Every structure is written in structure tokens, then in C-alpha cells.
Amino acid sequence: MTTASSGINKRKKPPACDYCKAHRVLCHPQLNGPCPRCVEKGVDCRTTPVIRKKRRTKAELVQYEARNKVTSCHDSSSPGSSTSTLGSSQFIEPILSFGESSSMVVIIRPQDIIMSSNLEEPIPVPPTLQMSAEIIEEFMQMPRNAPYDSHHIRANPFIPLSHLKTKLQAHSWDLCSLSPQERVLTHCMLTLIALHSTNPFIIGPGEVSVEGRQISSTVSPLKASGVPDLREYGFRREAMIRQLWAEALWLANQQGVATNTSKENAASCWILGYLRYVFLGQGASTYVAAYVHHMRTLAEDGKLSKSPDDLLKLRGHMISDAIPALLAGKSIPITPSDELLLVPHKPDSMEHLIHTFTTRSCTISEVFYSIHTFTHNILRLSRETVENLTGAYARSQPLDECFLAKHFASLDIFHSFLSATLQQISLQLSPGRAAPQTMYYLRVCSYGLVTSWGTLVLVLFELLKDRSLHHTARVDHYEDSNRDNYPAGISAEMSNQRLSVHLHHARKLASRTAVEVCENTRDIPSIVCLMPPRDLARWARFLMVEENVMDITRAQCSQALECIRDAFKLLGFSYADRTGLIEDIDAHLASFAVESMLTQLRQQDEVWMHDSGYPIANTNSDWLGLQTGLR
């Protein structure tokens, strides 16, 4: 074959004409004339050329987006443009350096960020933030200067905090002086510490209020007479937090922290899994699985500490891994074998501890060691809930009423044990009974115990409510295809009645638990102890949706909602709040106040009309219609 004929065969087919493309039909373009379809239809055959752009590289896309953000910020700040309602103090100005010689200032305003609670994990990027030695020193000294405010780091038995600080201090706080695994861990720690920092490098050069500067060291912040609204700081720090997180992910991927077992890598995996949970709501992630794998391998090799304090810390981290998985309806990552391997401590039975705690005053050590029993039963009940009720397979099967009855009985016993433990903790919190640091950790334990128990109850209620909403269609399906799964003589109506009874029981239990959770939330010793925003929002939705059928008074419901609203004001210090939950709660509480006022006026009206001899039937219907309209 000649070169000329080869070139003709390799020539591309001419593009389709405009008429064929508009009608989405196959075109047969001709080199020297109109296509057959245009000749048949009697239309002018034209072909508009398409200019194909060159595909840009990833670096070019990053710079292009950065320039667009800078341009949009300059346009919005020009005269005649709309300004932010949050004020100029909320601008975030992280300096991102691309290379050694050039730098670019990227200004991100809150309105430039998509107002959605469903964020995505940042794309891993190489470290570009130039953190000065002063900033690194300040961050690494925070756990020492404020030991009560960094329990996420101090309570992790795998973080060699003293070793890292000593090594960095000897090398002028240079991160490059650390080993690769230590550098990954330190970068993850800096991301976690930045959630509570007021350094201008994190939140920008704007002003910081007195409440913002003191909130991390404030004891019992929710007991203050006026809880400050700190949501602006969550928006100001978000861009820098995501940048630190993206760099930590890149370093973690480069060093293979999920596959190479070490204590440092285990701690890095736990922090990365925690970030995914609080920002994305993903309770079961690859990093959590890697963390459990590292713990298991270290325990098998005999490299885990057996000190009583470290064993208690491991117990606490087991709960922090199980509860997010339970809320997400995923399998609990800690198996019974892992639990015995990691903490070779045989816990006492709940019945024995209930008898002990209700008959005598116990020591502080006995109270702390009861955490072993509490954690063991939390993990057991969480596994049973996932395997029989909330898991992917359990949700596809008919409701196991036999297990549900046993589960309710287990929850009742567990609540008795919880009440006895809280009573002992309250005795230890008496003035002069324990050191301030010990009292702090007792209150942290009290809050953790109540919120863990509350998660079991809330998840059970949400499952039963979901089943009740879709019960008819499911029962019809199983009656047609799986009749053997139901006992003889049980109809759809009878099954629905039984489900209603279980749902009523779960709702009563959840309503009382909501009050307990909110009362303990008021007693938190520090802002960092608060549960993640997504978990707290679930309790708020429960209280607002189920207000008319709960087993608590209107006053208790209002107090619980006020506590959640104030907690969200404080959580906004660390996390950008896009839920609008604070405004929803305020509107709900306002409707409570109006209804209460109308009820009082109605009672006064009825008394006056009764004394005057007027009929009150029509008046009652008018008041009822007015209250319904307000709702």
C-alpha cells in the first residue's frame, strides 16, 4: 500500500452537520456537497466547526480555581456589590505557596463555600503551607499548657506526645527533623489541634472576641449565663483545616500508614478516621479498619502497654470506634476476640457492680475501673443491635420480636448500672473529695457514659420508626413470598399493632434519655468534650418531631432544646455550621411560648365566660383552630 493511500484511509470522518446533530440522527457528511438527509429535507446543510480545548493539567486547574476565587472576592468587595453579613472579620486568608519562589494569597469567604452539610473528603495534596516554628511550638505546647482541653490527644495511648515535643524542641521545631511516620502523626495532630486554635494563621487576621480567646480554657462553658455564638470562627478556620487535612492525607498515603504497622501509624489512622467522622459522618472507614488492624497486630506482638491507665484509654477508644459505626448502621470494627486481646481484663458483671454501687460508697479507682464493665456491655449491645436490627442484612429481614424483647430487657439492666455509676461519680465530685484534674476526667467519663447509652436508645427508636413507616409494604411482600417467616395466624394488622407497641416503648425510653443526655451536656467540663454536630443534631430532630407524643413535659423538652442550641453555638467555634439548626430551634421555642400564652388566655377566657353564663363550645373550637394555625 502506498503512503498516499495510507493517509486517505487514516483520514478522520468529517463532523456531522448542524441539522443532523439538532435532530440526533446519523449523518453521512460528504466532502464536496450537502449530506443526503439535508438534500431530502430541502434544508441548507451547514457544519459549525467545534473548537476543542487542550486538556489542562492538575496544577493548571488549581491555579485557575485560585485566580477565580481571588477575582470573585475583589468583585464582591467593589463598590455597589453586596457585602457579607458576617463581617470582614470572617475572611480567611491562608497563604498557599506553589513552589519555593512564588506564593499566592487565596481569600475564601463563607459565601464562596457551598452551603451544604454534605462535604467531601479533600483531595490529598503535597504540603505547601509554610508553618513557622512559633506556630508549631504553640500547637505542640497546647496539650501541656491546657491539659484539660486536649483529651483527644492525651487520651490516645499511641501518641508519644512527650517524645515528639522533646525531639522538635531540640531541632528548633522543624518538622523535617522527625522520622517520616512521626511527621505524618504530627501533621495529623496539628490538624486536630487547629480545630480549637485562635491563631491568625488558622482563622485569618481578623479580630477575635474575648469569648473566642477564652472558650478553649473555659470550665463548664454551657453553664454560663449567656452562651456566646461562635459560629463565625468555624467558617474562618474551615479552609485552613481542609488544607491541613489534605496535606495529612497526602503524607499518610506516601508513607503507607494504613498498611505499615506501628504505634505512630495507628495513632495517625485514628485521627484521620475521626476527621472523616466529624466532617463527613462516615463512622466506618478504611482508616478505622486500619487502626483496628494495627492495634490487633501490636497486641499479638506484645507491643502494647499493660499499664492500668493505658488499658482504660484503650477502652475509651473502643467506644469511640463502636458508636460511629452503630450510628451509620455498619459493623462494629472491634470483635469480641479483639476486645479480649487488647484489654486482657475480665470485667465484673453489671449485677455485681449495681449491688456494690448501691450499697456503699466506692473509691475513685473503683469508679474508674467500672469503665471496663461499661465498655464491654456497650460493645456487646452495639454488636447485637447491628447484627439483629440495624445492619444491612437485619434490615432486609422481618423484625425479630424475640430478640427485641430481650434487647429492651438488657437496656433496662444497663440503665440501672448507668444510674448507679453516675451516682458514685456525683459523690466523688463533692468539693474537696478529689483533685481538679481527677474531677475533670470524672465529668468527662460521666458525659461519655450517658451519650453512649443514649446512642443505643436513639438508634433503636429510629429503626422502629422507619419500620413503622414502611411496614405495610414489607408485610405484604413477606406474606406473599416468605410466609414461613411469620407464625401462623399473625396478620398484617396484628403485626402492625405489635410494632406500634414496640415503637411506643422505644419513644418513651428515648424521650427520657434525651433529657438525661442534655442535662449531662450542660455539665461538660470543656468544649472539646461535646459530641460531634451530626450526633447532636439527631437529638434535636427527635425532640422537635416527636414533641407531642413523648413521655416528658413541655418544659423539659424546651430545656433540652435550649441546651442543644447553646451547644451548637459553641460547636460552631470549631466546625462550620450550615445546618440552620439554631434558627430552627429558636423558631420552635418561640412557638412553644406563643402556645403557652394562648393556653393561659384561653383558660382565663373560659373562667370569665363560665362566670358570665355564656356558652364556651364555639370559643374552644376557635382557640383550637388558632393554635393549629400557629403550628
pLDDT of residue 267: 93
Using the structure block, give the residue that is written with the C-alpha cell 394488622: 493
d(CA 609, CA 179): 84
Which of 576 and 218 is assigned the larger pLDDT?
576
pLDDT of residue 181: 94
d(CA 531, CA 315): 18
Contact 524, 545 (CB under 8 A): no
Q: What are phi and psi of 456, to 5 degrees?
A: -60, -45
pLDDT of residue 390: 87
Contact 364, 393 (CB under 8 A): no
pLDDT of residue 608: 67
User: How confident is the model over 426-448, as a mean pLDDT?
Assistant: 86
pLDDT of residue 259: 92
Rg (CA), the chain: 31
Q: What are phi and psi of 510, to 5 degrees?
A: -70, -35
| Architecture (CATH level 2) of domain 335-529 | Up-down Bundle (1.20)
Q: Which tens digit of pLDDT belongs to each residue from 17-42?
A: 888 888 888 888 887 888 888 888 88
Q: Which tens digit of pLDDT belongs to each residue from 335-360?
A: 999 999 999 878 889 999 999 999 99
Q: Which tens digit of pLDDT belongs to each residue from 48-95?
A: 876 565 566 655 665 556 555 434 433 443 333 333 333 333 333 333
Neighbours of 452 (CB within 10 A): 23
Q: What are phi and psi of 136, to 5 degrees?
A: -65, -40
Question: Which residues does 499 contact at the CB level (< 8 Å), separation at least 6?
Answer: 399, 464, 467, 468, 471
* Least confident range of 47-56, 197-206, 292-301, 377-386: 47-56
pLDDT of residue 49: 74
* Least confident range of 83-87, 332-336, 508-512: 83-87
pLDDT of residue 497: 82
pLDDT of residue 92: 33
What are the start-end ranges of the H helices in 281-363? 286-300, 308-327, 336-342, 350-359
Domain ranges (residues) in the chain: 13-52, 64-151+162-246, 335-529, 589-630
d(CA 455, CA 515): 13
d(CA 469, CA 131): 53
pLDDT(310) > 90: no
Contact 204, 197 (CB under 8 A): no
According to CATH, the superfamily of the domain at 13-52 is: Zn(2)-C6 fungal-type DNA-binding domain (4.10.240.10)
pTM of the model: 0.74
User: How confident is the model over 607-621, as a mean pLDDT?
Assistant: 59
Using the structure block, give the residue that is written with the C-alpha cell 479483639: 338
What are the start-end ranges of the H helices in 328-395? 336-342, 350-359, 364-385, 392-395
Cα distances from 622 to residues 249, 595, 626, in angstroms, run: 62, 14, 6
Helix (H, G, I), strand (E, B) or coil at 92: strand
pLDDT of residue 381: 94
**Hey, which bits of 28-129 come out as E strands?**
95-97, 103-105
d(CA 336, CA 28): 68
Contact 218, 525 (CB under 8 A): no
Q: Exposed e or buried b for every residue in 45-64, given b needs 16+ CB within 10 A?
A: bebeeeeeeeeeeeeeebee
pLDDT of residue 429: 86
d(CA 145, CA 142): 5
DSSP letter at 318?
H
Half-sphere exposure of 224 toward its Cβ, with a 13 Å CA cutoff?
A: 19
Among 89, 217, 231, smallest CA distance to 570 is for: 231
Helix (H, G, I), strand (E, B) or coil at 108: strand
pLDDT of residue 93: 35
Distance of CA 298 to the CA centre of its chain: 29
Neighbours of 316 (CB within 10 A): 18
Contact 326, 318 (CB under 8 A): no
Contact 70, 105 (CB under 8 A): yes
Residue 302 has which C-alpha cell?
506484645
Question: Which residues does 139 contact at the CB level (< 8 Å), separation at least 6?
Answer: 189, 190, 193, 194, 197, 199
